[in-house]
Amino acid sequence: MVKFGFALNPSSRIDLDKTDREKFAQLVELEPDVLKCMACGSCTASCTAGKFTPTSVRSAILEIQNGRWQQALDMLKGCLLCGKCTMVCPRAINTRHLILAINEVYQSGK
Amino acid sequence: MKNIVVIGGGPAGLEASAQLHRLGYNVILVEKSPQLGGHLAKWDRLFPSGIPAKDVLEKMVSQINGVKYFLEANVQSINLLHKSYNVILNNGITVLADAVLFTTGFDLFPAQKKEEYGYGIYEKVITNADLENWFKTKKDNRVTENPKRIGFVHCVGSRDEKAGNRYCSKVCCATAVKQACEIKQEFPDVEVFCFYMDLRMFGRGYEDMYLSAQKDYGVRFIRGRVSEVAENINKELIVKAEDTLSGKPIKVTLDLLVLMSGMQNCSEGTKVAHQLGIANAGNDGFFETKDAIYSQQHSTREGIFFAGACTGPKTLPDSLSEARAAAIEIHNYVKGIR
Amino acid sequence: MRERILGGYDDFVLPFMTGMAFILIYLFIGLIRIFRHMPAQDRTRFFKSLLSPSIMLKNAKDIVNDCLLHVKIFKRNILLGYMHASIALGWFMLIVIGHIEVALYVPQRNGILYYPVFFRYFVKQEGALTLKGSFFFFLMDFFLLIVLSGIGLAIYKRFRSRALGMRRTTRPCLADRIALACLWSIFPLRLLAESFTAGIAGGSFLTKPMHWLFSNFLSNDLHILPTWWAYSIALGVFFLALPFSRYMHIPTEAFLIMLRNAGIKASHPRKGFAEAEIYSCSSCGLCIDACPMNVNKRNLKYSSVYMIRFLRRRNEKKTKAIADKCLMCGKCVAVCPVGVESCNLKRAHRATRYNTLQYNYSYLGNGSHPAHAHADTQDTPDILYFAGCMTHLTPSIIKSMEEIFKLSGSKYVFADKDGGVCCGRPLLLAGKEDAAREVIARNSQLIQTSGCSKVVLSCPICLKVLKEEYKLQGIELLHHTQFINSLIKEGKIKVKDGGESLVYHNPCELGRGCGIYKEPQEILQQVGELRKGEYEGKESICCGGSLGSLTLSYEERGKITQGSLNALTGCNPHKIITACPLCLKTFAEKSPVPVMDIAQIVKENIYTNTYETYSL
């Protein structure tokens, strides 16, 4: 069969068919608050590390839901767990524990 | 002649009183403040088309000729006697009411509770109500001549667990867009930023207003909630938010910040409702209607009715429709029509 | 007094000896284990401490006060203190006097473990009672009575704990119940055995009349052997059950005191020092009433005592749940009669799971030096003001502090005006110790090279870690309450009584964390009428906002906040005053009365003309 179209680069689309539901379920069990985010960005805005690094809880949650957990982990590397994001979150997400839980679930396995 | 007590002299109370009076009832309207009109009396113009609030209010007040109303009056006690309610006011007046209508409306969320926004701490932070007052009177030292940048913060005290109010206050988005356009009319050179989480432009003409704010007034809409505000040595405000669409934290220096305070149930009204056991001790603080779809004007108690924002955030036209609906429901109840 | 039983042996000592041998071997192995698991430097530290006379003296003092007299429990409740002291001291004296008796009367039996315990069985009284003899008889009966009174109280407490100042106590496990039954029966059995034997071996005011009483309807001699058997069995079973019960603290507590006085801290949640702490927990349950989480009954199971119980049983899942839930407010540590530092155990447990998580703080090196931001000021100010992350969410504190600095004419640099870097304490609390060390090292350097001689902090969380972990040479660390108090004392600012009634909420990290209690009180007494809340000083309870807890949900925190607010507003104050941005923010969400930081109320009540007269 003849392949048609451009195949020089792999697709950069987010493929929701390939997200890991099992790991995500583990994360939800550890910290159910991961489901509560409404992406307001308060956490990122107040983040002490976010001024210098791409630290963002909001983006990390989004990346994980899109199956891109490596990007999420990179995003949380600079976190100092200071807790400001917990204080400003309008949905009262326990962001500190969520960050620890994301690391626990996704750092261990590939 | 049947007595109906209406508690709260805002738009819903005025409209319901007028309708009930027309239906031939003896209406007693109780208002806690020295003037009728509630929040409407403090507002300058109304979205979406910018009708002056004064015109609307004057029309409403002109309709209540013949209604007995008491200003600076509170309900001191209310209790059931046989089939009617004995209502005692703080001015000594006692009414035996066949039905009672709550049109107690809402309180604006006290913006100082969100300390990180600095209302009451920083000079240049005002609320939506303060801005309306400035539009009306042009008197407010905090609004200075020729500002360079002005910001609007949506959802202050709404959609916020920390403020104790999880719900959306419904009208602040439209109000913010309206006020953003109006401020551009006042100061054509000013840069205006609206910080929003979601823009809820649900009503007829609202989307047009939004489009106009973008196209005609050049208002910048930034999808991100303001997380904290600091003040520099010149008393300018440094606002931090995330531009969630580009995924980057942003910082902007403003000359004025307007907080869109949301709605919460009127505390005075809740006190009265408590005596009847109908104050919602549940989650959002607003009164619980008999059911959420069919009987919006009924309380869980016979003879007690609701209209307007006391059962949740509502626009002015919503409240007026409810007031008319409540008048009919009360009429049916008193006449024994099921 | 002469030996009655030839050979000095009877079979009934066997249960006792079995138990004794078991417990001694168990303790010996335990000791070896603890030393083996301890980091080498801690071991050296401990042995060195045994050579220091001052530490030895402190050891002796602490052991007498804590293990025998139970001074800490006396301070909490006199009856409860008496119950503990009577049993511990009484038993101890019985053992000591027993040995003296053996040494005096039957020196050939010195060193036989069971002999002093069953002394009365083995000897018989000869001739008239000497003064010396009756003195010992009296002492033995006296201390036996003391112990019995303690046991009586203990039985009473089982059924009515409230009378002894405890609302909630722990639920005992099987080994606890067995050991408890033995403990309750040991001394009454001893009394019976000695009474039946009093005709032969003699006795005093307690055993003699009992002997006479029984002789009226019992043939005493027939009961001698069975009661001694029963006494020995009770003791033996007690020792066998001991390692599995809460009473293990009796032999281990003294050892823990010595380790602690040597300056050793827990570095692992279960091994080494932690093991000594775990076995020293007496499961008394004082920490249950103390825990602020327990406003919600569902949380009872998260009390420190249960965490230690699960650690001991190596129940990882339940230990983890408690370790992560704890607010780390330190109140359970403050009230613990044994001084078990359970917060450190929880931190160590968190570290086993979170310390290995990756991080990258290379960006911290790019943070500009705080002093550079104020390069325009000619002379370097001596005060560095460090507001802290949380304080940026409570601008009223920053504004008030800036005003106070200005009015008092203090020159300062605002270190984190544009948002700073975290102090590292939250990382430590979460068990990310390596990560915290990196932040601490970088920050220390920044502060050290700033050229300031004083750091004023608004956040007690930062203050605690700066004090304990930062190695800052020649820099004084002050919380703003201390700074403001010194300004008032030096006359640099003058405050007036605002005429309002105030109640002070003592932040955990400031009070128990840094030991700062006096300064806030002194300031508040000058700016208003200071009233007392339900819990004061060391007994203060968490606001619910603590960074210490990892898993507590917002709803659960809300209940703690409500409980704390109820305790504060009982005295009907106009305002609640606190001294921590986190407490301020947490309370402000739910409080029925205004909540303010101490800096705010000082600013409101400052005589502004002071500044003008000074500048003239």
Neighbours of C518 (CB within 10 A): 12
Provide the pLDDT confidence category of residue C160 given band limits of 50, 70 and 90: confident
Confidence of residue C614 (pLDDT cuts 50, 70, 90): very low
The total number of residues shown for chain C amounts to 616
Does the beta-carbon distance from C426 to A88 stay under 8 Å?
A: no
At C168, the pLDDT band (50, 70, 90 cuts) reads confident
CB nearest to B164's CB, from C392, C396, C589: C589
**Residues C13 and C155 placed together within one structural domain of the fold:** yes
**Chain centroid, CA B141 distance in Å:** 25
Please give the pLDDT value at position C40.
Answer: 95
Query: Residue-wise over C22-33: b if at least 16 C-beta within 10 A, else e?
Result: ebeebbeebeee
- Is the CB of B233 inside 8 Å of chain C's CB atoms? no
The partner residue sitting opposite B113, judged by closest CB among C393, C399, C588, is C588
At B281 the pLDDT is: 60
8 Å CB contact of A53 and C363:
yes
Q: Which of A31, A48, A88 is closest, CB to CB, to C422?
A: A48
Separation in Å, CA of A4 to nearest CA in chain C: 43
Phi and psi for C452 in degrees, rounded to 5? -85, 150
Can you state the angle between helices C316-325 and C304-312, rounded to 10 degrees? 150
Residues B259, B153 contacting (CB under 8 angstroms) = yes
Q: Are residues B208 and B325 in the same domain?
A: no
- Chain C residues within an 8 Å CB radius of A73: 358
Q: How confident is the model at residue C178 (pLDDT cuts 50, 70, 90)?
A: very high
Q: DSSP labels for C371-383? A: GGGGTTSSSPPSE
| pLDDT on residue C130 | 82
What would the pLDDT profile of C520-532 be if each residue is shown by its tens digit?
999 999 999 999 9
Q: What is the mean pLDDT of residues A38-63?
A: 93
pLDDT tens-digit profile of B273-293?
999 988 876 679 999 999 989
Closest CA of chain A from C522, distance in Å: 31
A residues 63-102 near C, CB within 8 Å?
73, 77-84, 87-88, 92, 94, 96-97, 100
Residue B127 DSSP class: E
Residue where a domain stops, chosen among B201, B234, B261: B261
Of the candidate ranges B87-101, C124-138, C462-476, the one whose mean pLDDT is the lowest: C124-138
Residue A56: list chain B partners with CB under 8 A: 242, 247
> Tens of pLDDT along C578-605?
999 999 999 999 999 999 999 999 999 9
Window A:79-108, CB contacts with B under 8 Å: 87-92
Q: Do B161 and A88 touch (CB under 8 A)?
A: no
**How far, in Å, CA of C323 to CA of C342, rounded?**
9
| Cα three-residue angle C294-C298-C302, rounded to 5 degrees | 60
CA torsion C455-C458-C464-C465 (nearest 10°) is -70
Residue C94 lies inside a defined structural domain of this protein: yes
Instruction: Look up the CATH number of the domain holding residue B24.
Output: 3.50.50.60
For residue C504, the cross-strand partners are: C577
For the stretch C393-423, pLDDT in tens is: 999 999 999 999 999 999 999 999 887 789 9
pLDDT tens-digit profile of C309-360?
999 999 999 999 999 999 999 999 999 999 999 999 999 999 999 999 999 9
A30 touches chain C (CB under 8 A): no
Least trusted range by pLDDT, from C88-97, C137-146, C194-203 = C194-203
How many other CB atoms are found less than 10 A from the CB of residue C81?
A: 20
Answer whether the bond into residue C520 is a cis peptide, omega within 30°.
Answer: no
- Residue B192 token pair: 């205006």
- Rounded to the nearest angstrom, the minimum Cα separation between B36 and chain C is 29
* Neighbour count for residue A13 (Cβ, 10 Å): 6
Largest CA distance in chain A: 57
Domain count, chain C: 2
Contact C554 B161 (CB under 8 A): yes
Q: Which residues are bridge partners to B258 per DSSP?
A: B126, B152
**Rounded mean pLDDT of C485-510?**
96
Q: Is B247 left (phi over 0), alpha (psi -120 to 50) or beta?
A: left
**Chain A residues touching residue C358 (CB < 8 angstroms):** 73, 77, 103, 107
Give strand ranges (E) for C311-406. 383-386
Query: Residues 141..160 of B with a Cβ closer than 8 Å to C: which?
Result: none
**If DSSP codes are grouped into helix, strand and coil, which group holds residue B100?**
strand
Using the structure block, give the residue that is written with the tokens 């505390």.
B267
Q: Which residues of C touch B228 (CB under 8 A)?
A: 392-393, 395
What confidence category does residue C366 fall into, taking pLDDT thresholds of 50, 70 and 90? very low
Mean pLDDT of chain A: 90
Q: Please state whether beta strands B68-70 and B84-89 pair in parallel, antiparallel, or not at all (unpaired).
A: unpaired
**Residue B46 φ/ψ, nearest 5 degrees:** -115, 140
Kindly list the partner chains of chain A, i.e. chains with 3 or more CB atom pairs below 8 Å: B, C
Task: Please give the residue of chain A at the shortest CA–CA distance from C433.
Answer: A80
Chain A contacts of C355, Cβ < 8 Å? Answer: none
Q: Residue A91: its chain B contacts at CB < 8 A?
A: 161
Exposed e or buried b for every residue in B34-72, given b needs 16+ CB within 10 A?
eebbbbbbebbbbbbeeeebeebbeebbeebeebebbee
Instruction: Show which subunits contact B, needing at least 3 CB pairs below 8 angstroms.
Output: A, C
**3-state SS assignment for residue B150:** strand
Question: pLDDT tier at A20 (50, 70, 90 boundaries)?
Answer: confident
Do B15 and B58 sit in the same domain of this protein? yes
Count contacts between B and C (CB, < 8 Å): 31
Helix (H, G, I), strand (E, B) or coil at C167: coil
Neighbour order of strands in the sheet with B94-97: B75-81, B84-89, B94-97
C-alpha B322/C-alpha C96 separation (Å) is 88
- Residue to mutate among A33, A34, A74, A81, with most C CBs inside 10 A, is A81
| Domain residue limits at B72 | 3-105+266-334
In DSSP terms, B242 is beta-bridged to B249
Contact between chains at A97 and C426 (C-beta distance less than 8 A): no
User: How far from each other are the two terminal CA atoms of chain A, in whole angstroms?
Assistant: 34
Q: C306 is written with which tokens?
A: 């249960």
Q: Are residues A52 and C427, on separate chains, in Cβ contact within 8 Å? A: no
Q: Is the pLDDT of residue C61 over 80?
A: yes
Q: What's the rounded Cα separation, in Å, for the pair C242 and C117?
A: 18
Interface test with C, best of B112, B121, B236 (most C CBs within 10 A): B121
Distance from CA of A12 to the nearest CA of B (A): 18
Backbone dihedral region of B84: left (phi > 0), alpha (psi from -120 to 50 degrees) or beta?
A: beta
Q: Report the share of chain C in percent with pLDDT over 70.
A: 96
Q: Which runs of consecutive H residues, i.e. helices, occur in C358-479?
A: 395-407, 425-429, 433-448, 460-468
Kindly list the strands in the beta sheet with B237-243, ordered across the sheet, starting from the edge strand earlier in the chain.
B226-231, B237-243, B248-254
Say if residue B147 is in the same domain as residue B257.
yes
- Which residue has tokens 């101890």? C92
- Chain C contacts of A87, Cβ < 8 Å? 390, 393, 582, 585
Cβ–Cβ below 8 Å for A41 and B225? yes
**B113 touches C at CB < 8 Å:** yes
In this complex, do C354 and A100 lie within 8 Å of one another by their Cβ atoms? yes
Q: Which of C186, C219, C251 is the last residue of a domain?
A: C251
Beta bridge partners of C385: C414, C456
Angstrom distance (rounded) from CA C540 to CA C329:
9
Angstroms from A1 CA to nearest CA on chain B: 41
Q: Which positions ≥6 away from B200 have C-beta within 8 Å?
A: B168, B170, B173, B174
Q: Which positions in chain B touch C589 (Cβ < 8 Å)?
A: 113, 162-164
Rg (CA), chain A: 16
Using CB atoms, list chains with 3+ pairs below 8 Å to chain C: A, B
List the single best residue of A33, A36, A40 to mutate versus B (max B Cβ within 10 A). Answer: A40
pLDDT at C129 over 90: no
Least-confidence region, from B186-195, C199-208, C225-234: C199-208
Q: pLDDT band for A50, please (50, 70, 90 cuts).
A: confident
Domain limit, last residue, from C205, C228, C251:
C251
Which residue of chain A has the CA closest to B249? A45
Q: Give me the pLDDT at residue C369, please.
A: 52
Look up residue B271 and give its amino acid.
K
Q: Where are the alpha helices (DSSP H) in B199-315?
A: 206-215, 267-276
Confidence tier at C379 by pLDDT (50, 70, 90): low
Share of chain C above pLDDT 90, in %: 77
Distance in angstroms (rounded) separating the CA atoms of residues C514 and C510: 5
pLDDT digits (tens, 9 = 90+) for B140-161: 999 998 999 999 999 999 999 9
Phi then psi dihedrals of residue C363, to 5 deg:
-65, -20
Chain A neighbors of C421, CB-CB under 8 A: 48, 80
Tell whether C272 is covered by a domain: no
**Residues B305 and B241 grouped into a single domain:** no
C158 Cβ partners below 8 Å, 6+ apart? none
Query: Mutate which of B113, B154, B196, B225 to disrupt the A interface (most A C-beta within 10 Å)?
Result: B225
Q: What is the mean pLDDT of chain C?
A: 91
Q: So what's the pLDDT on residue B83?
A: 86
**Of B261, B283, B314, which closes a domain?**
B261
Task: For residue B15, give every residue at least 6 positions away whose Cβ sits within 8 Å of its Cβ, in sequence order, or none.
Answer: B60, B63, B319, B320, B323, B324
Q: Which residues of chain B have pLDDT under 70?
A: 281-282, 338
Do both B168 and B196 map to the same domain? yes
pTM for this entry:
0.91
Candidate from A52, A82, A97 with C-beta closest to C422:
A82
Question: How many structural domains are present in chain B?
Answer: 2
Residues 372 to 401 of C: which have CB under 8 A from any A CB?
389-390, 392-393
Cβ separation B227–A38 shorter than 8 A: no
Chain C nearest CA to B229, separation (Å):
8
Residues of B in contact with A46 (CB under 8 A): 227-228, 240
B161 within 8 A of B284, measured Cβ to Cβ: no
Given a cut of 60, whether residue C138 has pLDDT beyond it is yes
Establish if C585 touches chain B: CB-CB under 8 angstroms: yes
Chain C residues with beta carbon closer than 8 angstroms to that of A78: 359-361, 363
A91 vs A57: CA distance, rounded Å: 13
Residue B151 and residue B251 share a domain: yes
- Owning domain of residue C419: 366-532+571-616
Q: Specify the pLDDT at position C284.
A: 85
Q: For CA atoms C362, C366, C367, C372, give the dihedral sign.
A: positive
Q: B163: buried, middle or exposed (CB in 10 Å: 19+, 13-18, 0-12)?
A: buried
CA distances from C240 to A28, B12, C21, C186, C248 (A): 46, 79, 9, 14, 11
Q: Note whether C434 contacts A: Cβ–Cβ < 8 A.
A: no
Q: Which candidate from A59, A89, A92 shows the least CB-CB separation from B247?
A: A59
Let me know whether B120 and B184 are in one domain. yes
Task: Name C476's bridge partners.
Answer: C454
Which of B116, B162, B197 lies at the smallest CB-CB distance from A40? B197
Count the Cβ atoms, other than its own, within 10 Å of residue B274. Answer: 12
